[in-house]
Amino acid sequence: MPPKLTVSQNVIDRLTTVKQKCLGNLYGILYKNTLLIIGLHIHDGKKSEFIHSLPTEIDLHGVVEVGDGLINEDRVKQVMSDVDVTDTPIYMSCRISKEENSIETYYNVNNRLERTTYDIISEYDIYSQFLHIRLMTQLPLISGVTVEQIRDSFVVLRKQLTHGQVVFNFPKTRVYMMGSDCENGLIGLTGDPTVGEICKESTGITEGCDHSYQKKKGPPLDIDVLRVIMFRKITRDLVTDNVKIHAPVMHIDKKAHQSLIMTINIDALSIVHRDAKVVELYAMLVESCCRYLRLLEARVLANIKTCGGDYTKFSEPETFHFFPDSCGHFITRAYVKNDSEEELENERMVLHKQLLLPLYQPLFRRANRFLFKGDVQGSGLLINPHEGIKTSGNGGEIALVRGKYSYYHYCQNNMDDNGWGCAYRSLQTLASWFRWQGYTEKEVPTFKDIQKCLVDIGDKPSNFVGSKQWIGSTEVNFVLNSLMNITSKILYVSSGEEMGSKGPELINHFKTQGSPVMIGGGVLAHTILGVDYNNLTGNIKFLILDPHYTGSEDLAIIQKKGWCGWKGVDFWDKTAYYNMCLPQVPICI
């Protein structure tokens, strides 16, 4: 009997908007006699290795066809021949419509298509049931430089894993997963605990994400991640009856030889149901490492081929985990360190099309990587300090900044800009947002960078560099445009009281652009992170990030003392005029 079918809301959302014929794969997780379809990948005429970019336990479970809704059973069975993890692969037919596409699902049972129903499941419900395991370790790779030699070396690495030469450990615990080397495969645990129970009892080994992903609808999405590290066995078993002991023999063949020597930093993800038994993780973790090695092997081979025999041009690969909101699951990509974002643009364009993702915003640039709690965040600045703040209680439509930004404020980096640097700090916050979203690779400008830029474009005299002179929204606009090629829209109000009339324009900005807003008036500058506008009453609340804070990066104090919080119209000075700089988001990937 085929399993019950559930489909991720994200998969449904992407399919219902497609307006051209296409054919692709469906990827899912089988658990408790339920098949969860969590991802899709449209064919581009080439053999797909996309499975290696997905967390282990997500497998190819069927195909999806978008078109006129007519089903050619023979053709369907042919394209489903690559599905080998199940005897009852799923076929999804998406019929294109002028309004919203309709979706039908079928199981292939005994070589016949049988119609089945499906339930739609939200991301919140998915990650309430599932968690991720992040395996991190290092493996040495020593190989010749030919394609065949590199392939053979990766095969050797995978064989070492599959032949039981590794042990897995939960950090900060004495729990080890030994495979078949002990009675139940575990050391340091009694009974038969589930993965969910391990997470609850040992919160120190879960890292999750750096912040909750707040969806457009529904509660915040918390992604729990269980860390695991791997060790290699260096001792032999005591039973050596079948081992022949002999003197070592060495053969030396002197000749010129080129070698590829690199340390592979394994960073592999798996997804597992919280009710899965810990004892079952060993085989899954081995497969997770092997899947990661296949992903890395493809990138290394591609890089070797582009070297054209000049191996000094070889650059080691680096991997990144991405979790695009419009995708709903992790995707791991390997990039070559020396490749710029511009050189990878065509590759990203193909990936966006294959995943039916928007073509107007970056999702797979290095800056778009998913941040785990254990990841180094560079400068140590707070990221998204507005998250977790209670709603304003205004009862209106809420529109907030989208994505990540860093909080810049007075007296950071041992610099005393108290009393004059607030607009500079707001500008840095805006610039950090564009960098975090991947729209630019340029560093957040320093005070000197900002002042020199304004001098270079002729807005300020040469003695402005190194001074303590204020800047305003106009200068912020100039610097963003000159240094980052970001254009801005300027809004003017004649008094703070008039800010109450700007609700619709600010709502539109945060819904369409999503970038933070710099506002300057009188002698003060602030950053607006969102608004709550009640169209019925006309009342409005502003989510303010205050650059005048002079303390340490203490999130509790910043939120409790109102350095980041909701403010009413009376927050603005009635006697001062205000200019707002609304940065516009470029269309790119």
* Per-position pLDDT tens, the chain of length 589: 899 999 999 999 999 999 999 999 999 999 999 999 999 999 877 777 899 999 999 999 999 999 998 888 888 888 888 898 999 999 999 999 988 899 999 999 998 999 999 999 999 999 999 999 999 999 999 999 899 999 999 999 999 898 888 999 998 888 889 877 666 678 888 888 899 888 776 555 556 554 444 444 445 567 889 999 999 877 655 444 455 667 888 888 777 778 889 999 999 999 999 999 998 999 999 999 999 999 999 999 999 988 877 777 888 999 999 999 889 999 999 999 989 999 999 999 999 999 999 999 999 999 999 988 767 555 689 999 999 999 999 999 999 999 999 999 999 988 999 999 999 999 999 999 999 999 998 999 999 999 999 999 999 999 999 999 999 999 999 999 999 999 999 999 999 999 999 999 999 999 999 999 999 988 899 999 999 999 999 999 999 999 999 999 999 999 999 999 999 999 999 999 999 999 999 999 9
Other CB atoms within 10 A of residue 247 CB: 4
pLDDT of residue 259: 86
pLDDT for 238 equals 46
Q: Which domains does the chain have, with CATH numbers?
A: 4-121 (3.40.140.10), 128-236+258-313 (no CATH), 397-583 (3.90.70.130)
**Structure confidence at residue 244 (pLDDT):** 63
| Mode of pairing for the β-strands spanning 259-273 and 130-144 | antiparallel
CB atoms within 10 A of CB 339: 16
Residue 141 β-bridge partners: 262
Q: Which residues of 495-510 are buried (b: 16+ CB within 10 A; e: fewer)?
A: ebeebbebbeebbebb
Give SS3 for 426. helix
- C-alpha 437/C-alpha 364 separation (Å) is 10
Locus of tokens 């050189």: 343
First-to-last alpha carbon distance for the chain, in angstroms, is: 44
Between CA 209 and CA 205 the distance in angstroms is 13
pLDDT, residue 255, reads 75
Give me the sign of the Cα torsion angle 550, 555, 557, 563: positive
Residues 524, 518 contacting (CB under 8 angstroms)? no
Rounded Cα distance, 253 and 242, in Å: 31
Bridge partners of residue 30, in order along the sequence: 35
For residue 359, what are the CA distances in angstroms to 21, 349, 417? 18, 7, 41
Amino acid at 241: D
Active-site residue list: 422, 546, 548
d(CA 402, CA 382): 16
**DSSP states of 41-55:** EE--SS---GGGGSP
pLDDT of residue 22: 93
Residue 67, Cβ neighbours under 10 Å: how many?
A: 15
What are the backbone dihedrals phi and psi of residue 501, each rounded to the nearest 5 degrees, phi first?
-90, -5
Alpha helices (H) along 457-552 = 473-484, 503-512
DSSP state of 269: E
Residue-level pLDDT at 235: 64
Rg from Cα positions in the chain? 28
**pLDDT computed for residue 221 by the predictor:** 65
Integer Cα distance of 429 and 382 in angstroms? 11
